[in-house]
Amino acid sequence: MLQVNFLRDNKERVLEGLQKRQFRNPGLVDEAITTDEERKKIQFELDSQLAESNKISKEIGLLMKEGKKEEAESAKSKTAKYKESISELKSQLDVKEKELINILYQLPNIPNELVKSGASADDNEIIYQSHDVEGLGEGAIPHWELAKKYNLIDFELGVKIAGAGFPVYLGKGARLQRALVQYFLDKNVEKGYTEVNPPHVVNEASGYGTGQLPDKEGQMYYIQADDLYLIPTAEVPVTNLYRDVLLEEKDLPIKNTAFSQCYRREAGSYGAHVRGLNRLHQFEKVEIVRIEKPENSYAVLEEMVEHIKEILTDLELPYRVLRLCGGDTGFASAMTYDFEVWSAAQEMWLEVSSVSNFETFQANRLKCRYKTDGKSQLVHTLNGSAMALPRIMAALLENNQTEEGIKLPKKIADYARFDVIN
C-alpha cells in the first residue's frame, strides 16, 4: 500500500507510474490526498477538544480542593458538552480513516523507473534467452498425450474427483513431482534460505497484508464457514510471518523458502493454452521470500534472478527472462521478472517463475519495520517461484521425448532414482 505522504510529495511520479500501468482511475490519487486532508482537520479538532477537556478536568479537581463547588459544577457542564462533541469527532475520524484505507487499497504499486510502459504481455522486454529454440518436428506429442501414454497423470480422474484443473499424478509422474520439489528445496537451502512449512489457509488480514486482497479476491478460494482463504502461493503465509513485527537491523536479511500446494480459481480461463498442465486450479510450488533493507533490494532481485537461471540450467530446459511492462506487472510489485521455458511439442513459451520486488508496498500493509540508528523504517519484501511445477513438468516431458521414452536430465534423474520414463 502506498503512503499518503508519498502520494502528496511525489504526485507527478505517481501519476507517471500509474500511466505506465495503464491504470484507469488515476483520480484516486487526488481523492486520497483530499480525504487525508479532511482526516487531518478532524484529527486536529479532536486533539484540540481533548486538550481543552483535559484542561477543564484538571481545573475541576483544583476547584473541588478549594471548596468552590459552584464553579466546579459549572465547569463540569462544559466537559459534558465536550464529551458529546469528542464522541462525534471520533466517529467522524473513524469513518474518514476507513474511507482513506479503502482508497489506498485500490492504488497499485508504482513501477520502478526501468519498467517500461505497456498494456499487456506483448509489451514485455526479453532481457535474456538461453538457447535458440525450435519444435521437435513431426511426431512430437504434447505433454497431456505423453502423460496418458506413460500413465503419469490422469486428468479425467481428477475431473471425476474434483473437477477440471485438479489432475491426479500416478506412478513415475508422482515420483517425478516429488523429486522436483525436493530438488528445488535443496537448491534453495544451499543458497542460504531457511525452509518453512506454513499453513495452506490464511485469514483476511494476511490476504490484505501481501496485496492479494482486495485485488484478487475473485481468484482465491474462500471458506465461508471459517472466514479463511486457500493460499494462491506460499508467499502469502510466509511473508505474513513478519506482519506487525519490528525487526532489528541484525536480523536482516531474512531468507525463507517453502513448499506448498497452491489454489487458484483462475476465473474466466479457457482456450487451448489451458490444456493439460498449462493452467490448473491446484498445483505444487516452491517459493522463496526475502525481507531486506531498502538499499539492498534491487541487488537482491538480480541475485534471485541468477538463482532461478541456475535452476533452469540444471534442468537443461531452454528458457528466457522477461522484464514485465507496467500493464503486465502485478498489483503489488514495483518490478517483476518472468521466466518462461520452451515447450517444444506445443511450440510455445510457458511461464514457470516470477521474481518480484515489492519495495515497501507490502511492508506498509504488514506494518513490518526494522530498527536502524534508533529509528524504525519499512523493510523491502521480495519473492519468487523456485519453482512452480506444472509447466516445468510439461516442458520436461515434451522436450525430452525420444523413441525409447522420456529421458530425464541428470540432476533430476538422481533425485527421482530413474532416468527414463517408458
Give the pLDDT confidence of 363-390 residue by residue, as tens digits. 999 999 999 998 999 999 999 999 999 9
Q: How many CB atoms lie within 10 A of CB 24?
A: 8
34 is in an annotated binding site: no
354 is in an annotated binding site: yes
Question: 264 a known binding residue?
Answer: yes
The distance in angstroms from the start CA to the end CA of the chain is 51
C-alpha cell of residue 17? 507510474
Residues in Cβ contact with 90 at an 8 Å cutoff, skipping those fewer than 6 apart: 46
Instruction: Please indicate if the annotation marks 404 as binding a ligand.
Output: no
Instruction: Tell me what the mean pLDDT of segment 145-171 comes to.
Output: 97
Whether pLDDT at 308 is above 80: yes
Enumerate domains of the chain plus CATH numbers: 4-105 (1.10.287.40), 121-421 (3.30.930.10)
Determine the length of the chain. 422
Q: Is 97 annotated as a binding residue?
A: no
Using the structure block, give the residue that is written with the C-alpha cell 505506465: 20
Amino acid 397: pLDDT = 97
pLDDT per residue as tens digits for the range 244-284 = 999 999 999 999 999 999 999 975 555 556 789 999 999 99
Q: Answer yes or no: is 287 a known binding residue.
A: yes
Determine the pLDDT at residue 266.
Answer: 77
- Report helix, strand and coil shares of the chain as percent, to nearest 5: 50, 20, 30
Residue 352 labeled ligand binder: yes
Window from 38-52, 89-103, 135-149, 220-234 with minimum mean pLDDT: 135-149
Decide if pLDDT at 356 tops 80.
yes
With cut-offs at 50, 70 and 90, classify the pLDDT of residue 401: very high
Q: What mean pLDDT value characterizes the chain?
A: 94
- Residue 181 annotated as binding site: no
Contact call for residues 287 and 238 (beta carbons, < 8 A): yes
pTM over 0.85: yes
